[in-house]
Structure 1
Amino acid sequence: MLGGAVFAVCMAGTTLPTPLYGLYQEKFGFSELVVTVVYAVYAFGVIGVLLLAGNASDTVGRRPVLLAGLAFSAASAVCFLSATGMGWLYAGRLLSGLSAGLFTGAATAYVMELAPSGGATRATLVATAANMGGLGCGPLLAGVLAQYAAWPLYLPFAVHLALVAVSAVVLARLPETVRDRRPLRTVRPQRPGLPPQVRPVFVPAAIAAFVGFALFGVFTSVSPAFLAQSLDVHNRAVSGLVVALAFFASTAGQLAVDRVGVGRSLPLGCAGLLAGLALLAGALWWDLLALVVASAVVGGAGQGLAFRGALAAVAAASPPDRRAAVISMLFVVAYAGISLPVIGVGLLVGPIGLEGAGLVFIVCMAVLVTAAAGYLLRRPARASA
């Protein structure tokens, strides 16, 4: 449980700025495009770590890697606390991405390894809840503090720094689980690969992962602006809650896979993503807060179902000696979904407005997820739990 709490603290730091982008826009005077680029820098940091050092904790141990992740998280908070210009925001987001990249694999493995004998199922639930739940707690915490406390651009990061310090103390007291540790110089970059026999399963799984992460990317980068500009919702706690709901729903969706079954979770997740996109389109068209909330819940649950199903299907189809490389490739595609479509939305905001850009994004993502669902109907992905 303590390992899961440390995991959640780090992931919360990656989404902490979400309800604060409007305040930064007022302070520094940048456009919606810049908001999306600042947000997307995070994904580039995650992808870089996954490719260059995603397997580092297997070599040097879990705790050193997780302590490095906490250090990057603390440095990110310091950048936001010190922000006097755009460079600080870019640096803060990049450092946040580096912390998430180090934690994504290492913390999941660590929580599983710390579990007592026979506790693997419970450890999986803890790791899932810590990851996605932590991502949801970030905007909720920042939104509440920014709305109801003083120093909205400083207090959230000061609180997070304190939580990181406590997490470092906790982590230092937890045991190391990697027995055969080697020096850092022996770590080699991972080379994502895609064996031919995996490609029929990987293509629909990767599309679903891309669309699900893209939906999260739009929610966490531009939904606060939409709530403020189109719905006249200026309460930052509400903005943070709407974003948090998507992550909490994703947690529920991932946990539901055990009941739904891994084989059905990917097509059902695609259906949930399509429904979430449709609800978001209705929210943009009719300017209704209720539809934004419904989109967050339905789309988030679809993302959770689809992503865990995608991971299981891809892992089951991969040869044991290439499994890590294939899963790394899936994560690279997923995090590309967080960055590239979001930047595309930012580019379109100027010429066609926020609602128009959102509708173009929805149409493109709907086409992708419909193609993946159609493929799955013809050739269902088979996966083992």
Structure 2
Amino acid sequence: MRTTGLLVAVLTAGAYLPGPLYPHYQRLFGYDDLVMTLLFATFALVSGPTLLLCGPAADVVGPRPVLRSSVLLAAVGSGCFLLAPGPAWLFAGRVSQALALGAATGAAQALMTRHRHPAARVGGPLLAGLAFAAGTAAGPAVSGVLAQYAPAPLVTPYLLHLVLLAWVWHLMRRNVPEPEPGACEGARRRWRPARPQLPSALRPLFVVAGLAGFLAWAVVGIYLALLPALLARTSRGAGPALAGGVVAAVLVCSVLTQCAGARGSARSARLVGLAALIASLLLLAAGGAASLPATLVSALLAGSGHGLAVSGAARAVDARTPPGQRAGIAAALYLLFYTGSGTPAVAVGLMSTHMPLTAAVTVLSWAGAALGAVALFATCRLPVPVRRDGQATHPATHVPRRVFPGGRPARGTGTSAPARHRGRRSRPSSRSSVGPAAVRPPGRPPVPPGPHRPPAQEHPSGTRRNR
């Protein structure tokens, strides 16, 4: 499970390495802001379909072939950025990175959930979220520092990433299990690309939790895609290291809050996370990144809200997912997350043709705050199944308990007794001197006659006796 988490972190770091380096590429190749926006949008447009196509594949062929293909695609992406002679190679690198991370996400989370040790404190969805957030933080931070202080800023980060990929490949050969015998032959006949099927009992929760995760990654997407350029235009002396450090601070707060809220309920985590995200967006809309301290406070709030909202959404959905559909449903959930991370870059790219960048970020922040209010309201209105003892339970396994006016539960419902004992009434022993009418509660009908208890007959003296 640790090897899979490390793989997710390395793949995610490679996907977000180019963030602080895009101003260098813009000066080197001379492209405009629209090309930079399209570079950010390419990742979201490619990773989404890859999640839907390759997510269910891990449930059929096994996670190891999918993860191996992801490592190879990530190496191709870093090689394209390493040797890029023009913008076309940058687009090819982004496509390869999106394919790698999109294919590995569902398979990695399903593998971590399946092979989780019973005594482990961290579950599969939480570990996947931690690895994803850690990689997203490490990528911009490392590339920003290397771009400002190391020689060859457009070469060193990708060489380091290739070395990490080779190390992860070696660990994966030793620790990731092989698919079951005969799985590949059956997969060639059975697997076809298809969207995952959501159980009907899971759909309301999936929509509400997906909306919370979408907003969380949309807020982080503002910092990942737009904050470096925004700081360069509004703050003096803001280099790649500062931009990467602010982005890393967002994701470090996310990791810490995910660890801190691991033992709380998923619903409470989503509620607190959404409130923090709304506060962050309102602060960013008021300041517009003109004040560096206000921007840092907004980043800390965004990271805290992101960690709680994403971990709460992933844990809530995974707890109600059938075991044989974990990879497909996890891929569908992360599709909403990736779409949220790429939406701000596309929206601001379209708005920047009619208004300045700071004004576009302000408009986007107000729109995100409104969407956060909708997500908060939907989370509060989502019903939580509760038993009579006040404890929440699984909506598919909970059986409602009907109670008669006299306080007697209905026969065969709301009981934990085995099925063969449900509905039986306790009868008094024939040796007892107390008759059945004396032990019957008021309002309960008499016990019907059976083959072991012949019907009573009228005695000449006026009393009823059994044979």
Global fold match (TM > 0.5) = yes
Q: CA deviation at 1:254?
A: 2.2
Structure 1 residues 384 and 273: CA distance shift in structure 2, 3 A: farther
2:420 is matched with none
Query: Is residue 265 from structure 1 mapped to residue 266 from structure 2 by the alignment?
Result: no
1:121 is matched with 122
Q: CA deviation at 1:376?
A: 2.6
Point out the more displaced range, 356-365 or 126-135: 126-135
Query: Is residue 85 from structure 1 mapped to residue 89 from structure 2 by the alignment?
Result: no
CA deviations 1:298-323 (Å, max 9, x no partner) are 11221121122223334456677777
Query: Is residue 303 from structure 1 mapped to residue 291 from structure 2 by the alignment?
Result: no
Structure 1 residues 282 and 139: CA distance shift in structure 2, 3 A: same
Structure 1 residues 81 and 192: CA distance shift in structure 2, 3 A: same
Could you tell me how far apart the structure 1 residues matched to 2:48 and 2:245 are? 27
Which of 172, 182, 188 is the equivalent residue of 2:184? 182
- When normalised by structure 2's length, the TM-score is 0.76
CA contact under 8 A between 1:54 and 1:190: conserved in structure 2?
no
CA contact under 8 A between 1:11 and 1:135: conserved in structure 2?
yes
Matched letter for residue 296 of structure 2: V
CA deviations 1:229-261 (Å, max 9, x no partner) are 111243211111111122222222322332332
Structure 1 residues 384 and 361: CA distance shift in structure 2, 3 A: farther
Which runs of no fewer than 5 residues in structure 2 stay unpaired? Answer: 386-391, 395-467
2:357 is matched with 354
**1:109-148 residue pairs with structure 2 within 5 A?**
109-119=110-120, 121=122, 126-148=127-149
Structure 1 residues 111 and 195: CA distance shift in structure 2, 3 A: closer
Q: CA deviation at 1:201?
A: 2.9
Q: Which has the higher helix share?
A: 1
CA contact under 8 A between 2:110 and 2:327: conserved in structure 1?
no
- Percent identity of the aligned residues? 36
2:44 is matched with 43
Point out the more displaced range, 247-256 or 222-231: 247-256
1:292 is matched with 295
Query: Is residue 278 from structure 1 mapped to residue 279 from structure 2 by the alignment?
Result: no
Q: CA deviation at 1:125?
A: 5.4
Matched letter for residue 104 of structure 1: T
Q: CA deviation at 1:188?
A: 2.2
Structure 1 residues 295 and 381: CA distance shift in structure 2, 3 A: farther
**1:355-370 residue pairs with structure 2 within 5 A?**
355-370=358-373
2:72 is matched with 71
Structure 1 residues 166 and 326: CA distance shift in structure 2, 3 A: closer
Q: CA deviation at 1:177?
A: 5.7
Q: CA deviation at 1:221?
A: 1.1
CA contact under 8 A between 2:61 and 2:184: conserved in structure 1?
yes
- When normalised by structure 1's length, the TM-score is 0.90
Point out the more displaced range, 304-313 or 120-129: 120-129
CA contact under 8 A between 1:35 and 1:221: conserved in structure 2?
no
Point out the more displaced range, 264-273 or 24-33: 24-33
2:388 is matched with none
CA deviations 1:68-109 (Å, max 9, x no partner) are 111011000011012122111111111111111122122233
CA contact under 8 A between 1:59 and 1:187: conserved in structure 2?
yes
Query: Is residue 240 from structure 1 mapped to residue 209 from structure 2 by the alignment?
Result: no
Secondary structure, counterpart of 1:312 in structure 2: helix
Point out the more displaced range, 133-142 or 342-351: 342-351
Structure 1 residues 55 and 384: CA distance shift in structure 2, 3 A: farther
Secondary structure, counterpart of 2:184 in structure 1: coil
Could you tell me how far apart the structure 2 residues matched to 1:10 and 1:72 are? 10
Matched letter for residue 98 of structure 2: G
Matched letter for residue 281 of structure 1: A
1:201 is matched with 205
Q: Taking CA–CA contacts closer than 8 Å with sequence separation of 6 or more, which of the two structures ends up with the larger relative contact order?
A: 1
Structure 1 residues 218 and 166: CA distance shift in structure 2, 3 A: same
Secondary structure, counterpart of 2:355 in structure 1: helix
Could you tell me how far apart the structure 1 residues matched to 2:118 and 2:321 are? 27
CA contact under 8 A between 2:281 and 2:369: conserved in structure 1?
yes
Matched letter for residue 292 of structure 2: L
Matched letter for residue 340 of structure 1: T
CA contact under 8 A between 1:208 and 1:307: conserved in structure 2?
yes
CA contact under 8 A between 1:211 and 1:369: conserved in structure 2?
yes
Q: CA deviation at 1:337?
A: 1.6
Q: CA deviation at 1:43?
A: 1.6
CA contact under 8 A between 1:132 and 1:247: conserved in structure 2?
yes
Matched letter for residue 373 of structure 2: T
CA contact under 8 A between 1:110 and 1:177: conserved in structure 2?
no
CA contact under 8 A between 2:5 and 2:127: conserved in structure 1?
yes
Query: Is residue 155 from structure 1 mapped to residue 174 from structure 2 by the alignment?
Result: no
Matched letter for residue 307 of structure 2: G
CA contact under 8 A between 2:125 and 2:318: conserved in structure 1?
no
Which runs of no fewer than 5 residues in structure 1 stay unpaired? Answer: none
Q: CA RMSD for the aligned pairs?
A: 2.5
CA contact under 8 A between 1:74 and 1:161: conserved in structure 2?
yes
Could you tell me how far apart the structure 1 residues matched to 2:318 and 2:261 are? 15
Q: CA deviation at 1:27?
A: 1.2
